[in-house]
Structure 1
Amino acid sequence: MNAEQRTPAVVIPRTGVAVDVHAFSEDPDRPLWLACLEWPGERALEGHSDGDVVAHVCADALFSAAGLGDLGSNFGVDRPDMRGASGERILAEAVRLVTEAGFVLGNIAVQLVAQAPVFSPRRLEAEARLSEIAGAPVSVSATTTDRLGFLGRAEGAMAMASALLVPAARSDGSPSA
C-alpha cells in the first residue's frame, strides 16, 4: 500500500449563499406563507409559487452549495407544475436533489428582512418546521431596514441564506462529491 492509499481523503464542506425578494401582494384573499408557516391576517407575498421567501432562499442556498444552479433553473416560471407550489415542496425537493447529488446537509442559516410580519413570536416554530423539512438544523433571524428603501416602505420582503453541505461518504469511505 502506498502513502496515497493510506491517507484518508480530505472532506471539504461546501457553502452556498442566496438572496430572494418578493413583493407584497395586492390580493387580500392570498394567504401569507413564510418559513413554511401560514400567517393569518398578514399581507401575502407574490410569486409563481406561494411566495415563501424564507423557504425559497433555503432551497436556493442548497443549490448554490451543491453547484446545481439556482432556484430559477430548477423550479422556474417555465415549469407550470410549480405554479402555486408550497415552500415546503420546494425546500423538500431541493434537499432531495442535493442528497441525490452526493451531499449531506449540515445546516442552513437565514435572515429575513421585512417590516412585517413581526417574526420573533413564531421564530422557534419556523425553525422547527424548516429543520423538519430539511432534515438538518435551520436557524432564522429577522430584522428591518429601519423603514429605509423598498423593504422599509413595506413593499416586499427579502431573505438571505447560507447553507453548509458535506460530501457524503461512499461505501469505501471516500467522499462522493
Structure 2
Amino acid sequence: MKPFRIGFGFDVHRLSEGYPLWLGGIRLEHTSGLIGHSDADVLIHALCDALLGAVALRDIGYHFPPSDEQYKGIDSKILLRRVMELVREEGYELGNVDATIAAERPKLKEHIPAMQQTLAEVMGAEVSEVSIKATTTEGLGFTGREEGISAYVVALLIAKE
C-alpha cells in the first residue's frame, strides 16, 4: 500500500431559475440554482471524484448513476459520506483537500467558512484540512455568462497506520 495517494476531481452544472443553489453542502440564496439528478452540488461532486480517483475507484457517476432513481434529488452530503466510507475501506484517511469554485455570482467569500465546516464534518476531518477558494472567469465562457458553475478539487489521502 502506498503511503500517499492523490486524486483530482472536476464537475460542472448548469444554472437555471427555479432551482435551489446547493454548494459545498449549504444552501445559498440566489436567483438561480444548479440542475442535476441529485441536488447538483458541483463542489461535492468534484470532491467525490477527487477522493474516488485517489483510490482508483472510478467516479461518482459509476457509484451513484443518474439512471438510478434512488439518487434523484439526493443530498450530495450523503454521497460524500459514502465515498469517505469507500476511501476508508481501501485503507486511507483524508490528508487534505484543496478546491476552487468558478462562478460569477453569487459572491462566495462569506460562505466559504460554512462550506469548510460542513464538508469537514461530513468527511470526519478537521476544518484546516479543507481549503476552498472562489474565482470568477472574468466574464468569459459559460461561467462568465452565468450559465453554470464549475469546481476543481485535488485530494491527498494518507494510508492508515
Normalized against structure 2, the TM-score is what? 0.93
Identity of aligned residues (%): 37
Q: Distance in 2 between matches of 1:69 and 1:111?
A: 21
Structure 1: gaps (5+ residues): 1-9, 170-177
* 1:97 aligned onto 2:92: no
How far off its partner does 1:108 sit? Answer: 1.1
- Whole-angstrom CA distance in 2 between matches of 1:67 and 1:42: 37
| Structure 1 letter corresponding to 2:112 | R
Root mean square deviation of aligned Cα: 1.3
**Which of the residues 49, 58, 75 maps onto 2:47?**
58
**Hey, what's the Cα distance between the residues in 2 that align with 1:78 and 1:66?**
24
2: CA distance, partners of 1:143 / 1:92: 26
Matched residue type, 1:18:
G
Shift of 1:148: 0.4
1-structure distance, mates of 2:33, 2:7: 27
Shift of 1:45: 0.2
Which of residues 124, 131, 140 is equivalent to 2:132? 140
Structure with the bigger percentage of strand:
2
User: Aligned partners of 1:42, 1:72: CA distance in 2, in Å?
Assistant: 28
Report the 3-state secondary structure (helix = DSSP H, G, I; strand = E; otherwise coil) of the residue aligned with 1:20.
Answer: strand
TM-aligned CA deviation for residue 41 of structure 1: 3.6
Aligned equivalents of 1:40, 1:144: Cα separation in 2: 18
Shift of 1:13: 0.4
CA deviation after TM superposition for structure 1 residue 96, in Å: 1.0
CA contact (8 A) 1:35 1:87 kept: no
Aligned to 1:119: 108
Partner of 1:19: 10
Q: TM-score, normalised by structure 1?
A: 0.85
Report 1:1-177 matches (<5 A). 11-26=2-17, 28=18, 30-136=19-125, 137-169=129-161
Corresponding residue SS for 2:87: helix
Q: 1:149 to 1:41 in 2, by over 3 A?
A: closer
Shift of 1:43: 1.2
Q: Distance in 2 between matches of 1:138 and 1:94?
A: 16
| Secondary structure in structure 2 of the residue aligned to 1:24 | strand
- Alpha-carbon deviation of 1:33? 0.6
User: Higher relative contact order at CA 8 Å, sep ≥6: structure 1 or structure 2?
Assistant: 2
Q: Distance in 2 between matches of 1:135 and 1:67?
A: 21
Provide the aligned length of Structure 1 versus Structure 2. Answer: 158
Say which is worse superposed, 154-163 or 73-82, in terms of deviation: 73-82
Cα drift, residue 103 of structure 1: 1.0
The answer to whether the 8 A contact 2:30-2:106 is kept is no
